[in-house]
Amino acid sequence: MLELFVSSFVTFFVVIDPPGCAPIFAGLTAGATAAHRRAMAVRAVIVSAVILLVFALVGEPLLHGLGIELASFRIAGGIMLFLIALEMVFEKRTQRREDRAAKVQATSEVEDVSIFPMAMPMIAGPGSIATVMLLMARNNGIERSLVVFGALLANLVLMLVALLAAGPLMRVVGAKIEAVVTRILGVLLAALAVQFVIDGVMEQLH
């Protein structure tokens, strides 16, 4: 069982990638209060956990029943992430927040990114959904399934810790450096989005 836990943990860690998601989350939530950032981090992890749990239990028959393939998830998620990346690079998110704040005369509150794009498709994306479905299919029985769930839970806890730590680290570096880092992360997120689309198209072609 220990070998199964270790292999499942490593697989989930590579696919979910807590260290990679953390700086993107920090860039998306630039300007948020500490309380709002914490709330979004907790909500993102909880929602992604629910999504992955549902797909682990009933994912394959659900997708087949709806006539949806994971390749379609990759392509759709990639397109949506690319739009978010463009806004990060050209600071459209900041401009839109300021315009909205001026119209409603409200405080400058950061958009809630916990559901999209953090929970879906960054954390509970096509890769992690396919991984949890595959591991559950390979490991029948209550004990082995619980080990897989334990490995998934451990990675989600790591994700929460990484998201909570990313905000304070970004605030320490200062506003100007944070703006530069946000643009760089936007470019990286755009590349990741394009890779999602390419993977989906290649999977469909094969």
pLDDT mean for each 10 residues of the chain (206 residues): 90 84 83 88 96 88 78 77 78 54 47 89 84 82 93 96 83 66 77 83 85
**Radius of gyration, alpha carbons of the chain:** 18
pTM of the model: 0.71
Give the per-residue pLDDT at 160.
Answer: 96
The answer, yes or no, to whether the previous bond of 19 is cis (omega within 30 of 0) is: no
- What does the pLDDT look like over 110-162, one tens digit per residue? 678 899 889 988 899 877 888 888 788 778 789 999 999 999 999 999 999 99
pLDDT value, residue 33: 85
- How many helices (H) and strands (E) the chain has is answered by 8, 0
Please identify which residue in the block is written with the tokens 């119209």. 103
Peptide bond before residue 117 is cis, with ω within 30 degrees of 0: yes
Cα gap 92→94, rounded to integer Å:
5
Give the pLDDT score at 20: 78
Closest by CA to 29, choosing from 201, 206, 164, 184, is 164
69's CB contacts (< 8 A; 6+ apart) are: 63, 203, 204
Nearest to 161 by CA among 16, 11, 3: 16
